[in-house]
Homo-oligomer: A and B are copies of this chain.
Amino acid sequence: QYEPLLSEKDLTRVAIGDADAGEEGEATRVDSPLPDDLTRDSLELPELSEPELARHYTRLSQMIYGIDSGPYPLGSCTMKYNPKFTEDVAALPSAAVHPDRSERSIQGTLELLARLQDYLGRIGGMDAVTLQPPAGAAGEFVGIRVAAAYHEHNGEGHRDEVIIPESAHGTNFATAALGGYDVVSLPSNEEGRVELEALEAALSENTAALMLTNPNTLGLFERDIEEIAEMVHDVGGLLYYDGANLNALLGRARPGDMGFDVMHYNVHKTFATPHGGGGPGAGPVGVVEDLEPFLPAPRVREANGGDVDYELFDPDHTIGHVHGYQGNWLVLIKAFAYIARLGDDGLADASAKAVLNANYLASQLEYDVPYEPFHHEFVASAGEQDAADVAKRMLDYGVHPPTTKWPEIVPEALMTEPTEIESKETLDRLAAAFNAVAEEGDEVLEDAPDRTTARRIDQTSAARNPRLSWQALTDDE
C-alpha cells in the first residue's frame, strides 16, 4: 500500500516561508536574532505531529525486507543476523562522547578501541590495526594510501600500477583509481582462480600492489596464494586482502599467514553489525609490522606509564586522516561486542556453518554451479534465464534473491551466500524458491515481481528523467 511523502501528508502546512508562499499554505517566516542579510527568508518543510510521524515511519518500515524478514543470501554481502544486544551496548549513554574530549576523560572509549584492534589483529594475523576507515571501500583506500606512502618512503614513488583480478569487487578498481593508480586487470584461469602466468606478465617494477579477495568472489580459495605472495613481493609490490569474504575463513586461515601485507575487515559483514540499509559500516585495516608507521593518525595504544592507560598517537610516517575523526565508533562497539560474545569457538563455528550452508544450499539447486569447491558462497548460473529476472521472481516467493549478473565469469550469475544463520529448513525453503523459478518461463519472469508492495520498477525512466527530491516531483507533475 502506497505511503504519501511527508510533504504530501502535510498539505495544509507545507511551508515555513516568507509571506509570498501564502498561496501554498500557511507560510512560516524565518525570523532570527541574526541580521536579515545573513539569514534566509523561508523554509518549506512539512510540519507534522509525533503520531503522524510514528505512523509514517512504521508504514515505511513495513515496506522493507530485513534480515528478520527471512533469508537474505546476497553473495559477498554476508547478511548475518544482527544480535539485538549489540544495539543496547552501542546505545549506552557512556558511549556518547565528543571526538575532541581529552584522552584522560575517555579511557573507556580508548580501551575498547585498543581491545578491538587487538582482536582484529589476532583474527587476521596482522601486526597492527587502524579502526578509522568508516566502510570497506574506505579501508581499501587506506590500504592503497599506505602502500603509496610506503613505496614513496622507500624511494619507489614511481610505482603506479595496482593489479586487480577481473572478478574482484568494484570498489577495488574505484579505490585504486581514487588513489591515482592505473589498474591492471587480471583474468581468471579456467578454474576460476588467479592465472599465475597472467600475474607474472602483469607484475613489474611499476607494481604497487595486488588486491585480492580470498576466497575469491566465486567462493574459491586461491590455493596458490603462497606463490602469488612470493611473486608480488619479489617485484617489490604489496599484497592487499579484501576482507569482504573473511566469513569463510574464521579460525581456519588468516590473511597474515598467507602473506598478505595489508587487509581490511568489513565488520558489517564478518562481525554482524547491521547493514542499516547501506551503512554505517566500518572497514578497519590491518597491516604487517613494516607498514604500521604509515597507518592513519591518530591511533590508539596502551600507554607506557603516565597518568592514562590508553593514549592516542600519530604513527611516524602516517598518511594522516581518511575520516574527520575515528570512523564509525558506534559500529565498532557492536563489532567488539559480537567478537567478545562468540570468542574463538563461536567465530570458527560461524565460518564452518557458513561454508556448510553454502554447500548444502548449492547441492539442492537445479541451477548449475560451475565452479567449486567453494566456501561460504557460490555462483550459480541462471543459464538461459536472465539472472536479474530470476531475482525479481524470487521476491514473489517471499525470499530475498542472491546478487546477480556478477562476477561476469559466470554467465547470468546468481551469487549466493546464505551465511551461518540459516537452518536447514530455511535453506530448503530458499532452494524451493530457486527451483520453482528455474522451472518458470520468460514471460512470468519478465513480469515479476507481482506479489510485492511495488511491482517491477522502471529503472530507465528513473535515470532518463531524474526526480531526486519531492521538489522535483512537484515541478514535474
Contacts and interface: CB of A to CB of B under 8 A. Distances in A.
Contacts of A11: 425
Contact of A58 (B55, B68, B83, B423): B68
A288 interface: no
A69 B3 CA distance: 12
A157 interface: no
A271 to B, nearest CB: 16
Contacts of A425: 9, 11
A83 B421 contact: no
A462 interface: no
B69 A55 contact: yes
Contacts of A83: 50
For chain A, the bracket of interface size reads: 20 to 34
A51 B357 CA distance: 15
A5 interface: no
Nearest to A52: B423
A81 B421 contact: no
Contacts of A398: 1
A50 B1 contact: no
A84 B54 contact: yes
Interface in A415-441: 421-423, 425
Contact of A81 (B50, B68, B70): B50
A58 B51 contact: no
A417 to B, nearest CB: 15
A55 B79 CA distance: 14
A62 interface: yes
Interface in A385-427: 398, 421-423, 425
Interface string A80-114: 01011000000000000000000000000000000
